[in-house]
Amino acid sequence: MRLPFTLLGAASLLTVTAYGQSIDAQKVTFDYVRLPMIPVPAGSHSYQAEVVLRYEEAVKQQKADHLSAVAEAKIKAEKDKQEYKALSLKDKALNRLLLDERKPGAAVIPTADYTAQVYDAKTLAATYVNVSGFQRAAGPTADLRITVTTDGFTLGPIAPAEVKSNTQVKLAGVSTGDGVKHLYEVSYKSPISVKVSTKDGAVLLDELIEATNTYTVGKTEAFGNPDGLAKFWAANQNAFLRQLDENSMKANMKLVADYLDSKLGQRVITRNTSIIVVSDKKVNYDEYPQAYEKALMGYKGLGDPARIADAQKQINEAIALWNKALSESNPKDKKARIDEKVTAATLYNDAEANLWLNNFDEADRLLARLKLLDISRYNTMANELGAVVQDQRVRFNANKKS
């Protein structure tokens, strides 16, 4: 009776032993250059990066309006004092008696609303606006002009919320059940858009990054009563919002970096996968270690342009060995040399190899055959590989002309 597979993740070591038969997923790591989603004009090697803080003037105006409101409050307070001083003792007494008007106090200074932090645009551009495979340049000589525009920290609803506490609340020694803690849920976002154009003015990309335009909810510390929450908020509102502001900007600028690299970059990506090798003490599976060696050497050459031709030759030879084995496939016969499990292993190997020769239709066909076998661990591996196939197909097709 055959033992079941043990799968430690889609790309981890997979070993099956049935009598003398062994099916081992050998871990493989290699690098390849990921093509951009948007091809750039031939000969493009440099880019100029700029970050525009579209909200900066609004922040200045908000601060100016608050200063103006403070000045008006002080002027009004001083005017009220002078008018009160000019009243006779009789009028002062009547006003106090009939209108409950007393001596004016100090100016009531209006509370300032939170103002979005104004970051250093040059630092943001230097830190986050990078494109793999291109050199940063300044001025009109750059092949690409990248403009990242941020609308700044934008507050949404600030709503009170309650959470159950694990602490028992007691009144006069009598338990009243689980207590309730009070907090604020603060909605916020920091929308960012990206525009990329050539030095001739042709626009390659002009999009709002949707993930940055979606509200995130931050939660304050929870307090045992509403008064505690109110005191905390009065003393710490600006500091709390400033931390959300900074976290949001950092997270969203990292999204920008990944977005630009995916759309335009030629990044070296490390692929972690497996090549499955079959062996048996009584049955000849010599083509599997041979194919493993050829595929391994082929994959290792994918990241070096000088080795691409030889890499493709090695991968093709591995595919030929696996295809020959698949010609004997008989999944319904447990005694067949290429039984169900060996067929599944071979289909996976074959699909991965075809992917790196840009034979996307063939890779999809092989993965479809693999899924029809309905072996759960291979379904997981097939789904992961299928996502890579689709991504590579889109990138390859986008770069055909260039």
Instruction: Map out the domains of the chain as residue ranges.
Output: 6-35+267-398, 62-114
DSSP per position, 267-278: -EEEEEEEEEEE
Burial string for 198-226 (b: 16+ CB within 10 Å, else e) reads ebeeeebbeeebeebeeebebebebbeee
Q: What is the mean pLDDT of residues 78-103?
A: 70
**Do residues 144 and 134 touch, judged by C-beta distance below 8 A?**
yes
Query: Which one, of 136, 137, 142, lies nearest residue 199 by Cα?
Result: 142
Q: What is the mean pLDDT of residues 229-243?
A: 95
Q: What is the mean pLDDT of residues 130-145?
A: 91
- pTM exceeds 0.85 for this model: no
> What's the pLDDT tens digit per position in 342-399?
999 999 999 999 999 999 999 999 999 999 999 999 999 999 999 999 999 999 999 8
Sign for the CA dihedral angle at 160, 162, 167, 171 comes to positive
- Which tokens is 162 given? 């309650």
pLDDT score at 121: 97
Amino acid 169 reads V
pLDDT score at 178: 55
Query: Measured between alpha carbons, how far is 392 from 26 in angstroms, rounded to an integer?
Result: 23
Query: Measured between alpha carbons, how far is 241 from 70 in angstroms, rounded to an integer?
Result: 22
- Which tokens is 92 given? 């002062």
DSSP annotation of 2: P
Query: Which one, of 25, 22, 21, lies nearest residue 377 by Cα?
Result: 25
92: confidence class by pLDDT, cuts 50, 70, 90: low
**Do residues 326 and 338 touch, judged by C-beta distance below 8 A?**
yes
DSSP per position, 221-282: --BSSHHHHHHHHHHHHHHHHHHHHHHHHHHHHHHHHHHHHHHH---EEEEEEEEEEEE-SS
**Which range among 173-187, 209-223, 270-284 shows the weakest confidence by mean pLDDT?**
173-187
Query: Measured between alpha carbons, how far is 348 from 366 in angstroms, rounded to an integer?
Result: 7
pLDDT of 175 over the 60 cut: no
> What's the pLDDT tens digit per position in 6-64?
333 443 435 555 457 899 999 999 999 999 999 888 889 999 999 999 999 999 999 99
Query: Measured between alpha carbons, how far is 12 from 343 in angstroms, rounded to an integer?
Result: 19
Query: Which one, of 228, 154, 215, 153, lies nearest residue 184 by Cα?
Result: 228
pLDDT score at 9: 44
126: confidence class by pLDDT, cuts 50, 70, 90: very high
**Do residues 355 and 34 touch, judged by C-beta distance below 8 A?**
no
Q: Is 374 exposed, middle or buried (0-12, 13-18, 19+ CB in 10 A)?
A: exposed
Query: Measured between alpha carbons, how far is 18 from 282 in angstroms, rounded to an integer?
Result: 11
Between 18 and 89, the higher pLDDT residue? 89
Average pLDDT score over the chain:
88
Amino acid 365 reads R
Query: Measured between alpha carbons, how far is 287 from 294 in angstroms, rounded to an integer?
Result: 10
